[in-house]
Amino acid sequence: MEEYTLPLPLITTLSKVFWDGCRENKLLYQHCRDCGRVIFFPKHLCPGCMGHNLEWLESKGKGAIDTFTVTYEGAPPAFMGVTPYCVAIIRMDEGYRMMSNIVDCDFDALACEMPVEVVFAQVTEEITLPKFRPAGG
């Protein structure tokens, strides 16, 4: 595997579940059994009811682009060498939002509300990043 030089997620005991899921090509999110709230980023307590009764569910990996930007210049230092790239906020069908990159696409064709689906990019032995591409692409 080619050496990966971009920042990797800082893994905690809580987020390990999520990143372990990604390594198995599963996109996980939390759900509160008490109040039904859908939770992402992973939390220690339910931010709705302060309950501890949280479970992990697997997302279908489908959503729509809430908003996006294609960065050509002024990227964080580590990303200077990979411009242009698209970073987006994706509104998942399950009702949560996540940030990721939109890949395998024509940047000029991107638009808010475009349907997208997850693809998994293994970048190191440990880490697989969930990325998105236009749905059906």
Partner 1 sequence: MESIRGKTAIVGIGEVPTGIYPERSFVEQAVAVSEMAILDAGISKDEIDTVIPVLAVANPIDNANMVCSWMVEEMGLGGSCKANFVCGSGGSSSSNSLKAAMGLICAGLSRAVLVVHSDRLGTGLDMGAAIAQFAVVSMSQEYEIPFGFSQLALAGFLQQRYMYDTGTTERQIASVVETLRKWAALNPNAMLRDLRTADDVLASKVISSPVRKRMMNKLADGASAFIVTSAERARELTDRPAYILGVGSRCTNFTATEGQGDFYKTWTPAADDAFAMAGIGREDIDVAELYDAFPTFILISMELVGLCGKGEAGRFFEEGHAAPGGRLPVTTNGGMMAQGHTGAGGGVAVLVEAARQVMGKAGERQVADVKYALDTASGGIGMDFHVGILGNEV
* Residue 50 Cβ vs Zn ion, minimum distance, rounded to whole Å: 7
For residues 97 and 93, give the distance between their C-alpha atoms in angstroms, rounded to a whole number: 9
Report the nearest approach of partner 1 to the CB of residue 77 (Å): 5
**Rounded CA separation 6/116 (Å):** 24
106 binds, among Zn ion, partner 1, none (CB under 5 to 8 A by kind): none
Please tell me whether residue 1 adopts helix, strand or coil conformation: coil
| Closest distance of CB 17 from Zn ion, Å | 18
Q: Is 120 in the site for partner 1 (CB under 8 A)?
A: no
Classify 62 as helix, strand or coil: strand
Q: What is the largest CA-CA distance in the chain?
A: 46
Please report the sign of the dihedral spanned by the C-alpha atoms of residue 38, residue 99, residue 14, residue 117: positive
Tell me if 68 contacts partner 1 by CB under 8 A: yes
Q: Of 123 and 135, which has the nearer Cβ to partner 1?
A: 123
> Which 8-state DSSP code applies to residue 126?
S
**Where along the sequence are the contacts to partner 1 (CB under 8 A)?**
6-12, 15, 41, 66-79, 82, 85, 87, 89, 91, 97-101, 107, 111-113, 129
